[in-house]
């Protein structure tokens, strides 16, 4: 499925004026041009639209560990593309959710969390309170059994609360 068609032909015309953004997901492979093999997702930095695919994340029906891996992959790509919809480019300074990835190994290696610079951009763009955000993220990760990510958010939360 062509990402350019989804972004320009489907999502952009339907984007409500008061919407922060609009993102679509599909189980089909995505590609921006016929010469590309695939992309995990694509979003516009300026149009507030994005799309991502679940096609290459594995089979969540194979058990709890595989389900959690598919869930984590889904969240990473969805949040990465959402970052683009808030005008955030790829991050090249730190290990960050906004790092680009060209294959599943690269995608799995990058963290769910944003680096300090990208986190500051997100808070500026959305008015989010990082303490409240990290509390919710830690609780979500705990409920989903994403223990490494839960630990990261709890440690980040502790550091922020010590600064207050």
Q: Which domains, ranges and CATH numbers included, belong to the chain?
A: 3-115 (3.40.390.10), 129-164 (no CATH)
Which single residue is written with the structure tokens 């959710």? 97
pTM above 0.85, yes or no: yes
pLDDT band at 71 (very low <50, low <70, confident <90, very high): very high
pLDDT band at 163 (very low <50, low <70, confident <90, very high): confident
Q: Is the pLDDT of residue 139 over 90?
A: yes
Q: Per-residue pLDDT averaged across 69-90, rounded?
A: 96
pLDDT band at 53 (very low <50, low <70, confident <90, very high): very high
> Which is it for the CA torsion 122, 127, 130, 135, positive or negative?
negative
Note the maximum CA span of the chain.
52
Q: Is the pLDDT of residue 136 over 80?
A: yes
User: Residue 2's beta-bridge partner residues?
Assistant: 31
Which of the following is catalytic: 33, 47, 81, 106? 81
Known catalytic residue at 149: no
Q: Which pLDDT score is estimated for 64?
A: 93
């Amino acid at each position: 499925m062509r990402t350019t068609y989804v972004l320009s032909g489907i999502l952009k015309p339907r984007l409500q004026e008061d919407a922060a953004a609009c993102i679509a997901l599909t189980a089909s492979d995505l590609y921006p041009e016929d010469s590309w093999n695939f992309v995990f997702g694509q979003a516009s930095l300026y149009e507030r639209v994005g799309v991502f695919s679940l096609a290459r994340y594995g089979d969540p029906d194979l058990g709890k560990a595989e389900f959690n891996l598919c869930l984590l992959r889904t969240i990473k790509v969805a949040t990465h593309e959402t970052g683009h919809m808030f005008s955030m480019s790829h991050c090249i300074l730190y290990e960050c959710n906004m790092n680009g990835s060209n294959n599943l190994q690269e995608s799995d290696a990058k963290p769910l969390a944003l680096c300090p610079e990208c986190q500051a951009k997100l808070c500026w763009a959305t008015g989010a309170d990082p303490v409240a955000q990290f509390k919710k993220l830690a609780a979500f990760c705990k409920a989903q059994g994403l223990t490494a990510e839960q630990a990261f958010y709890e440690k980040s939360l502790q550091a922020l609360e010590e600064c207050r």
